[in-house]
Each structure stands twice: as structure tokens, then as C-alpha cells.
Amino acid sequence: MSGICNFRKRSEGTRISLFFRRLRKSVAQLVIEIISHKRRLTFVLVAYLLAIAEAAGQDQPIELKPPISPAPAPLTLDGAVALSEKNYPKLLQAQAEVRAAQKQVTVQRIKEYNPDSLLSYQNVAGSHNRLTQTLFSSPALPTTPGPGPERVEMRGQAFSGAGFIIDWAPIDFGLHKARIDLARTQYGLTKARHGATLLDVTVEAASRYLDALVMHEQVTVAQANLQRFADFSKVVHAQVDAGLKSGADASLADSQLANARNDLIRAGLNDDLARAALGYIVGLGGEFVEIDSTGIIDVTEPLETQRALPVFEHHPLALAGRAAISTNIAQRHVLSKEYYPVLRWLGGMNLRGTTFNNNRGDVESPNVSGIFPVIPNWNVGLMIDLPFFDIIRIRAEKNVVAEQITAAERAYDLVIQGLKTENAQARARMRAAVQLAANMPIQVDAARIAAAQAQARYEAGLATVAQVAEANQILADSRVKLAVANVGVWRALLAVASVHGNLQPFLAEAKRLSKGGTR
């Protein structure tokens, strides 16, 4: 009995021990699985961090949404001109050309006084048969210095040579200086043309701004006109509905209202076209630029910024004309210096080598010297070059340049005459513009009174719809003409400033008024 009990105890102990062994094994597997999962998670995390670091190191950062370019602020008159000076590609091109012409002066100075130099190495294989003769030099007939073999043979030999030469011509009786002066005058011409381009662009920018200003005012007038016709249409429909007027009046009023709406659409189109044209000249092509008309459209008599007569010789166009004359004169001076002898100082050193060894024993390693020259020589010398037949070409070119100088002088005279004529016309436009701007408010007030009276007469049964429509249209036209007249004063001032060749006083007055300045 005790044996059976002992067996049961041993069996139970065995099962418990087996259970704990299985439990430890399961726990160990679980730990291994957790560790392996952690390793995979760690690997994924590291890969993700590396991807983020690689993206951060790229030149273009990742953006979750595209950037929105801010719309340009409304432009004032002086702001539009300043923006055109900064952004308009034609001006930027002219500025680059000026910088290139300025650097070309330095390049020309280097070309004139920098000595010519050449470092050369040759390796040639060929025969060395010689014949005493005289020939002009030719690439097809290479020179073969030194004595030849005792008999004609076609066995190949190797020849080598290396050396350098310096060719310097510092004395040329003023030709160097004349060419440098020509490059300097060409720089002056490019600079003067840039000034003329700058004036043209700024005047064009101011003119397109004034165009956009007029179109903007036309939109305002068309909106007011549409509102008047809409109000009048309500009055007509009310009287027709009350049986006081015939239905034809309602149809005619609706027709006039539709016409006013069409006028607003056309005014909006012209406004968009003018603002797009302004965007082009200020370097914002493709954008409808907004304008700020504060202080401009309401001022009918701005200060006359340039009352004194212009100095026409200082105008950018005149300066460009004089620069063209100077360039042709400098070209003539170069031609006058070309028919002088050129003194060339030459000096250098060279090495020669050959495998040909005829009656000589002083050439070391003749087989190697066919590749590596070993026999040295030095040389210095003076050469005086005078292409005497060039006198014919020089005289012919001088005749051409003389006619070019005459043509440039006549072009300069034409510029001065044109500026004088533009000045007289600008002064006449200025007087007329001021008078028109002073008279237009009278016309607008009269048209406003006439429109109000016409509508009152219609409501009293004394006028027709057509008469009211005509009065309102006259009022709208008068308001447009008022805006044109007010802007016309600024156009006349711009023309005067253009003749003076200086827009700064004109722009300063516009800037002062746009900031709320008073006269």
C-alpha cells in the first residue's frame, strides 16, 4: 500500500516537473518572439528616421500644400514707374549690355598690351632627304633643317621639338591707345542708349498707368449709370403697373437698362486690358495689376513741375546721338594710327631632337631624342612690320567713316529738332489740358441737373423714356470726359517731363499727392 502511494507521489511530481518545464519553454519562446518583434520594430523605426533625414537633406523640401503667391499691392503712379525700372526685361537687358561694354574696355586693354605667347611640342616621323631650293612657307611643305643623308633613302626617322616664344609689340605709335579709346567710346554709347531706354520705359509705364486709371474711372461711371437706369426702370415699371404708362415704356426702360449693363461689361473689358498692359510694362506680364488712384484722379491742376525750358543737349536721346558721333570719330582715329610700322619684340627658347645622325656624334641617345628633344637653343629679336599696301584699304575705310560721322551728325540734329517740336507741342497740350479740366465740372453739373429734371418730367408725364435715357447717357459721357480731362493734365505733365528727359520732379509730385499732400 505504501508502495502504491509512493508511486502516485512520484507520478504527480513528474507531471508537475513536466508542467514547469513546458511553462519555462513557453515563456522562453514568448520572450524570443517579443525580442524579435522589437528588432523588427527597431529596424522599421531606424529606416523611417533615415528616410526623414534623407528628405530633410534634399534641396527641395517636401511641402504638404503648394505655396500661394501673394497678390501685388495696388500700384501708385510712382510705384509703377519704380517697378518697371526694377523688373522690365528690356531694361535689365540694357543694364547687362552696359556692364558688358564696361568690361570690354578692360578686355581691349589686355588684348593691346598683353604679349602673345605660345608653348609647343611636336613629334614627327618621316624621311630626311633634302634638296637645296627656295620656296614660300606652306603647311604642305614642312621645313627640314640640318644636313641630309648622302643618298636618297625612304627609311623613317623620328624628329621632336619643344619650345616657347613671346611676341610683344608695346610700341605702335598710338594704335593701342586708339583702340582702347574706341572701346571706351563704345561703352559710353551703350550707356547713353541705356539712358534713352530707361526714359522710354518709364514714360511708357507712366502712360499705361494713366490709361489704366481712365479705364478704372470708366468702370465706376458705368456702374453708376447702370444703377441710375435700374432705379429708373423700377419707376417706369411701377407706373406701368399702376396703369399710368403704357407697356412700351417698360420695354424701352428695360432696353436702356440692358444697354447700360453692356456698357459696364465693355468698360470692365477695357479695364482688364489696360491693367494687363500695365502689368507687362512693370515686369508682371500675365497679371491684372490693381492701381491706387489716390490723389491723382481728383487733382485737376497739379503743380507744373518743370517750368523752365529744357536743355535739349542734356536729353538722353541727344546724349546717345553725341555718343554715336564720338564712336565714329574714335573709329577714324584708329584708322589714322593703323598705317604705322609695328615693332615686335620676340624671344624664346626651344629644344630639338632627332634619330637622324649624319656625320655627327654629339647627339646623345639618338633613338630617345626622337621623342624627347635634348638640343637647346635660345633666340631674341626685333621685327618691324609695315603692310604698305594697307594704305589703300585705310583710305577707303576713312571715307566710309567720314560719311558715317556726317550721318550721325544729321541724326543728332534731327533729335534736337524733334525735341524742340515735342516741347512746343507739350506746352500747348498743357495749356489745353488745364482749360479742359477746369471746364469739365461745369459740364458734369449741368448734365446731372438735366438728368434729374428729365426723370422728374417723366414722372410728371411731361417727358418720354427716350428723353430720360438720353439725359442719363449724356451725364455718363460727361463723367467719363471729366476723368479723361483730369488725367489729361497728368499726361501733359508727363509729356513735358519726357521732353526734359527727367521724370523725377513729375514722379515726386505724384508721390506727394498720393500720400495725401496738399497744394
pTM higher than 0.75, yes or no?
Answer: no
Domain limits, the chain: 183-325+402-514
Percent of the chain with pLDDT over 90: 30
How far is 496 from 306, CA to CA, in rounded Å? 7
Q: In this predicted model, what pLDDT tens digit does every residue of 305-345 receive, in sequence order?
A: 666 788 899 999 999 999 999 999 999 999 988 888 888 88
Cα(502)–Cα(506) distance, integer angstroms: 8
Residue 283: which residues within 8 A CB-CB, separation 6 or more? 83, 84, 86, 87, 88, 89
3-state secondary structure of 355: coil
Q: Cell for 164?
A: 616657347
Average pLDDT, the chain: 80
Reduced to 3 states (helix: H, G, I; strand: E, B; else coil), residue 169 is strand
pLDDT band, very low/low/confident/very high, at 398 (cuts 50, 70, 90)? very high
Q: Are 266 and 488 in contact (CB under 8 A)?
A: no
pLDDT category at 149 given cuts 50, 70, 90 is low
pLDDT in tens, 83-105: 999 989 999 999 999 999 999 99
**68 — pLDDT class (breaks 50, 70, 90):** very low
- Binned at pLDDT 50, 70 and 90, residue 299 comes out as low
Label residue 301 by pLDDT band (50, 70, 90). low
Provide the grid cell at 367.
633613338
Cell of 312: 535739349
DSSP 461: T
Instruction: Tell me the pLDDT tens digit for each residue of 212-251.
Output: 999 998 999 999 989 988 988 888 888 888 777 778 888 8
| Three-state secondary structure string covering 344-384 | EEEEEEEEEEECCCCCCCCCCCHHHHCCCCCEEEEEEEEEE
Q: Are 313 and 231 in contact (CB under 8 A)?
A: no
Cell (9 digits) for 116 = 602673345
Pick the CATH number of 183-325+402-514 from 2.40.110.20, 1.20.1600.10, 3.40.640.10, 1.10.10.60: 1.20.1600.10
User: What confidence tens digit (pLDDT) does each residue in 433-488 have?
Assistant: 888 888 888 999 999 999 889 888 888 778 888 888 889 889 888 988 888 888 88
Q: Would you state the pLDDT for residue 70?
A: 47
pLDDT at position 303 is 61
Q: Of residues 310 and 54, which shows the higher confidence score?
A: 310
Q: Report H helices in 339-389.
A: 366-369
